Amino acid sequence: MPETALSQTQLPHHRLAVTAKLGALLISVDFELRAPWTVLFGPSGSGKSSLLRAMCGFEVGGPATTIQFTRMAQDGSITSMDALPSSRRDIAYAPQSPALLPHLDAGRNVSFPFEVCSSPVRDSNIVDEALGLFKLHALAERRPRELSGGEAQRVNLARAFATPGAKLLLLDEPFNGIDRATRDALLPELLRVAATRGVPVVSVTHDVEEALRLEAEVIRIENGQVVAQGTARTVLAEEARRIAAVLR
Amino acid sequence: MDLAALGLTLRLAFVTTLCLLVIATPLAAWIADAAGAPTRTTRLHILARRMAQAAVALPLVLPPTVLGLYLLLGMGPATALGRALIAVFGHPLAFSFPGLVVGSILYSLPFAVQPLVLGFEGVPRELRETAAVLGASRWTVFRRVTLPLAAPSFLTAAVLAFTHTVGEFGVVLMIGGDIPGITRTLSISIYDQVQEMNYSAANHASLLLIALAFVALLALYARGARRTDGGRWLA
């Protein structure tokens, strides 16, 4: 697809190298993120969320942790993110727990990144677009405690999509608590929006079907190590066969 | 009852509480590392914070006379600090209302700082982290996430600082003496009346103090029962 090739050349690339000890788990990875959508795939407790945390600049493991995170922008410039505080990494992030601010209603939660953004060039349409994308206009005045798990998760995702100036979008188990039908309707929309904006996405999942549907680049992680990286069809070939066998 | 002493006590407690909220907020924020996302801190940094916390808690365990003695010396002409203060104010701070305020601030400091530290530490770390990565600077995270979520702790801190200052005795006696209308607070007035065997007046003033303290604490606990927040420090 020439369109994909074009958008790939326009995307910022990232490289992440992490060594960390989390309890009994030893994380040791070094990979590049070049695709429009990359899925970190692996069982629970394999260190996937910690890799997103490392990109965000949060605390990961003890003092022996080493993290190297670099961004290669479209113009070829290379920035090391390691010295930058989380707030200046131009990252949009939807954590696994919705982590909504309980004192703000859903609408204000979604517009939070827009309100705190320091960039002078920003377009308030981004908030409205995110509310529409996740069908939240009707829920905008509800407090987080009045939302169901799936609704809270949609607010969480919308907030990430409404972050102005993001150069990387990190989604930790984005469809946690969201029903299949909604997920299947959302997936192509999210792909389209991310591609239009030219923002690469990294999502964490242990759901084979989700990874296959996204036709994403898959980085398979087991016990803190990268065991395979490639297209969903090749990396998850065995899982795909197993699902097909069950259905037959 | 000594109305002048009652008025002075309430004024002292009010001024002290206001000053304490201003002083204790940044101090507690630093001790609790409450700005921005939680950061990895060096051992030295952690040690400095723990030492500050211990120093703030000293008035809880020291006899008020110890605090009073050093305040008296620090405000008097015997020390360089005291001489500087006398030059600034034109009179020694000891045996004056501003002197009482300084003493009360130190004496009630732990009652303002501890609830705020607990309140700040009680804000879930993922809320601060998420706000930070979504673009909020350290100050913005503090102002828009930590502060509103720790708001109930400010009520706890204010009520405790106020009531504790009202109940202060030793420090006030040491640095204020017992000057009617200037440094004679209600607790000292009660002591004087007992000395003069004027038990009825002492009784009235004491009952008033009990009622005041009870109502304030009741308000605090009644609120704490509805919400699980900063009030838990007392519970």
CA B115 to chain A, closest CA, distance in angstroms equals: 20
Supply the pLDDT for residue A121: 64
Averaged pLDDT, A28-42:
94
pLDDT value of position B229: 43
With 0-12 / 13-18 / 19 or more C-beta atoms within 10 angstroms meaning exposed / middle / buried, residue B207 is exposed
Give B42-96 pLDDT, tens digit per residue.
788 889 999 999 999 999 999 999 999 999 888 888 888 888 888 888 888 888 8
Q: Does B149 touch chain A (CB under 8 A)?
A: yes
> Are A56 and B133 a contacting pair at CB < 8 A?
yes
Tell me the C-alpha distance between A31 and A14, whole Å: 9
Question: Quick check: A59 and B38 CB within 8 A?
Answer: yes
Measured between CA atoms, the residue of chain B closest to residue A61 is B40
- pLDDT over 70 percentage in chain B: 94
Query: Would you say residue A212 lies in a domain?
Result: yes
In a domain, A73, yes or no: no
Question: Which residue range forms the structural domain that includes residue A210?
Answer: 35-49+87-247
- Token code pair at residue A8: 């790939």
Candidates A63, A97, A118; nearest CB to B135? A118
pTM of the model: 0.87
Nearest alpha-carbon partner for B140 in B31, B39, B34, B23: B34
pLDDT band for A247, please (50, 70, 90 cuts): confident
Question: Above 70 in pLDDT, residue B147?
Answer: yes
Whether residue B132 lies within 8 A of chain A, CB to CB, comes out as: yes
- Residue whose token pair is 């305020």: B101
Q: How confident is the model at residue A6 (pLDDT cuts 50, 70, 90)?
A: very low
Residue pair A170/A103 in contact by the 8 Å Cβ criterion: no
Query: Of B206, B211, B116, B109, nearest to B165 (Cα)?
Result: B109
Distance from CA of B149 to the nearest CA of A (A): 7
The amino acid sitting at B110 is: P
Q: Please, how many CA atoms are within 13 Å of residue B129, restricted to the half-sphere of its CB?
A: 22
Residue A8 lies in a domain: no
* Phi, psi torsion values for A92, nearest 5 degrees: -105, 140
pLDDT at B1: 67
Chain A: give the shortest CA distance to residue B211, in Å: 34
Taking an 8 Å cut-off on Cβ atoms, the answer to whether B36 and A116 are in contact is no
> What whole-number distance in Å separates Cα of residue A248 and Cα of residue B8?
87
Q: Is A150 on the interface with B (CB under 8 A)?
A: no
**pLDDT reported for residue A220:** 95
Mean pLDDT, rounded, for A173-185: 91
User: Per-residue pLDDT for A94 more than 60?
Assistant: yes
Number of domains in chain A: 1
In chain B, alpha helices (H): 3-31, 43-61, 64-75, 80-89, 97-121, 125-133, 138-141, 147-149, 151-166, 170-176, 186-195, 199-226
Average pLDDT over residues A173-182: 91
- In sequence order, what DSSP letters do the residues of chain A get, joined into one string? -HHHHHHHHHSPEEEEEEEEEETTEEEEEEEEE-SSEEEEE--TTSSHHHHHHHHHT---SSTT-EEEEEEE-TTS-EEE-TTS-GGGS-EEEE-SS----TTS-HHHHHHHHHHH---S---THHHHHHHHHTT-GGGTT--GGGS-HHHHHHHHHHHHHT-TT-SEEEEESTTTT--HHHHHHHHHHHHHHHHHHT--EEEEE--HHHHHHHT-EEEEEETTEEEEEEEHHHHTHHHHHHHHHHH-
B124 vs A: CB within 8 A:
yes
Residues in A touching B140 (Cβ below 8 Å): 87, 116
Determine the residue of chain B that is closest to A162 in CA distance. Answer: B134
Task: Evaluate whether residue A210 is within a structural domain.
Answer: yes
Q: Is the pLDDT of residue B199 over 80?
A: yes
Residue numbers in A near B37 (CB within 8 A) = 57-58, 85-86
Specify whether the CB–CB gap between B169 and B153 falls below 8 A. no
Q: What angle do CA B142, B232, B164 make, to 5 degrees?
A: 90
B227 pLDDT above the threshold of 60: no
pLDDT band at A62 (very low <50, low <70, confident <90, very high): confident
Least confident of A216-225, A237-246, B160-169, B207-216: A237-246
Answer yes or no: is A197 within a domain.
yes
Q: Is the pLDDT of residue B146 over 80?
A: yes
Predicted-complex ipTM score: 0.90
Q: Are A221 and A205 in contact (CB under 8 A)?
A: no
Nearest by CB to A113, from B39, B135, B148: name it.
B135
Domain holding A131: CATH number? 3.40.50.300
Q: Is B7 within 8 Å of B208 (Cβ atoms)? A: no
State yes or no: pLDDT of B105 exceeds 50.
yes
Model pLDDT for residues A123-144, shown as the tens digit of each residue: 788 999 999 999 999 999 999 9
Interface subset of A 107-126, CB within 8 angstroms of B = 112-113, 116-118
**Rounded-to-integer distance, Cα B211 and Cα B221, Å:** 15
Q: Are strands A37-41 and A217-222 parallel, antiparallel or unpaired?
A: parallel
- Contact assignment for A116 to B140 by CB distance below 8 Å: yes
Beta bridge partners, A27, equal A20
Per-residue pLDDT at B232 exceeds 50: no
Q: Tokens for A76, please give them.
A: 């070829």
Q: Classify residue A213: in a domain, yes or no.
A: yes
Distances (CA, A) of B100 to B13, B25, B173, B176: 10, 21, 9, 6
CA distance A152 to A130: 14
Across chain A, mean pLDDT equals 90
pLDDT bracket for residue A120 (50, 70, 90)? low
CA-CA distance, B171 to B75, in Å (whole number)? Answer: 13
Indicate whether A164 belongs to any domain.
yes
Residue A1 in this model has a pLDDT that exceeds 90: no
A91 touches chain B (CB under 8 A): yes
Residue B133 is nearest to which of A59, A87, A102, comparing CB atoms? A87
Residue A115 located in a structural domain: yes
Asked if residue B225 has pLDDT above 90, the reply is: no
DSSP 8-state symbol, B40: -
Query: What is the predicted pLDDT for the residue at A9?
Result: 54
